[in-house]
A and B are shown apart, each in its own frame.
Chain A
Amino acid sequence: MNPQPAFEFHWLSPLGVSAALFLLYGGLYIFIGVLEPIVREYSSAGQGALIRGDESDAALFGQSPVQLLKDNPQYALLGKILIHWIAALLIMVGIFQLSIVWFGLRQGQAWAFWSLVVGGVAVFPFWFLMFQPYARARIPLLHWDYPPVILIPTLLYFPAVILGWIGLR
């Protein structure tokens, strides 16, 4: 389990690129976690979506998110408060991810790789359940209006896992 002194890490190797992708993924969580409450508080950006994106949410709920928030004033306030909490959770995941990559994966530790794999895959069943109502309402799943906090890590996850696996073999 201790760092292997003989292990040589190179950024331009499969493991190096995997580490870079996982770092980007964790960094993005921290970036969005820090930025989201500020943006929601002081700008109108991001006010047009509830779960997925403006158009998809409008199709699912039968009215535009902006109108929906007007019609559901308590939800509007609740959503604004809860976003701080979700942002904090994103920062927490980001800190964990960055430290596991930096101190574990970069040293060639298999436990770090498998933790990142399991932790990353754990969210997918929840995303699947969350987006099921959109599929049932026949809202195209390939309409790319997913929130960046879900879309970008999902796109980075698979190449990061494949390259990490090749690099550690």
Chain B
Amino acid sequence: MLTNSLAEFRWLSPLGISVFLFLLQAVLTIIACLIVFAFNSQITATANRVKGGFMLSGRIDALFFGKTIEQIVQDNPQLLEIDRYSLYVRAGIWLALSIFQIALAWFGMRLGQTWAFWAIILANIAALAGWLMVILPVVQKRIPLGFDLPPVVLILAAGVLPVAGILGWIGLY
């Protein structure tokens, strides 16, 4: 296990930028969770689901199910209620894992601990694999993906992982 002293850590180094990106990703996810905590009933209202969808985005979900979001809500009367409760499950888990990621980046990676780096990488790969499982049925139906994918929890995570991963690897080895 490679251990640098805290004094050797520089934010403007590959390791520093990597730590910063992982911290940023976790902080933005925490903000998203707090927004869910405070505004879940508004987020899961039909008007917002028309734009944001239930899975990926309103456009993609409507194409996937072959009907508009309003129609899906009308045909599935309990959907909004179950959606609201299950969003609490997801947000609760997100919040916990973001706190853990901050702890690992701050107390582990910043000190040059390779185990903390690999824990963050492995866990984020697992999360992206989960997203792939969500996206796969959409791709199988040949629905074009766009920039209307969930911004913080997917686009940011998918963008941060390779960049922060490579920089962290350069910085640590």
A interface with B by C-beta (< 8 Å): 1-2, 33, 37, 50-51, 61, 68, 71-75, 77-79, 81-82, 84-93, 95-97, 99-100, 103-104, 109, 111-112, 115, 118-120, 122-123, 125-127, 129-130, 133
Q: Which A residues are CB-close (under 8 A) to B126?
A: 33, 88, 91-92, 95
Besides A74-B75, A78-B54, 12 other A-B contacts (C-beta < 8 A): A72-B77, A73-B75, A86-B89, A89-B93, A91-B126, A92-B97, A115-B103, A119-B97, A122-B99, A125-B92, A127-B92, A130-B85
Q: Which B residues are CB-close (under 8 A) to A2?
A: 3, 5, 111
B46 at the binding interface (Cβ < 8 Å):
no
Q: Which B residues are CB-close (under 8 A) to A127?
A: 88, 92
B116 at the binding interface (Cβ < 8 Å):
yes
What are 10 sample pairs from A and B whose C-beta atoms fall under 8 A apart? A61-B82, A85-B133, A85-B134, A86-B93, A93-B100, A96-B100, A96-B123, A112-B103, A112-B107, A126-B37
Chain B contact residue count (CB 8 A cutoff): 55
Interface centre among B75, B123, B124 (most CB of A within 10 A): B123
Q: Which residue of B lies closest to A63 (CB)?
A: B78
Q: Which B residues are CB-close (under 8 A) to A81?
A: 55, 133-134, 137
B82 to chain A, nearest CB (A): 6
* Bitwise interface map of B from 87 to 109 toward A, beta carbon under 8 Å scored 1, else 0: 01111111111011111100110
Q: Which B residues are CB-close (under 8 A) to A37?
A: 133
Q: In the complex, what distance in Å separates the CA atom of A37 from the CA atom of B120?
A: 23
A82 in contact with B86 given A91-B126, A95-B126 (CB within 8 Å): yes
- Please state if B116 and A120 are interface contacts (CB–CB under 8 Å): no
Q: Which B residues are CB-close (under 8 A) to A130?
A: 85, 88-89, 92
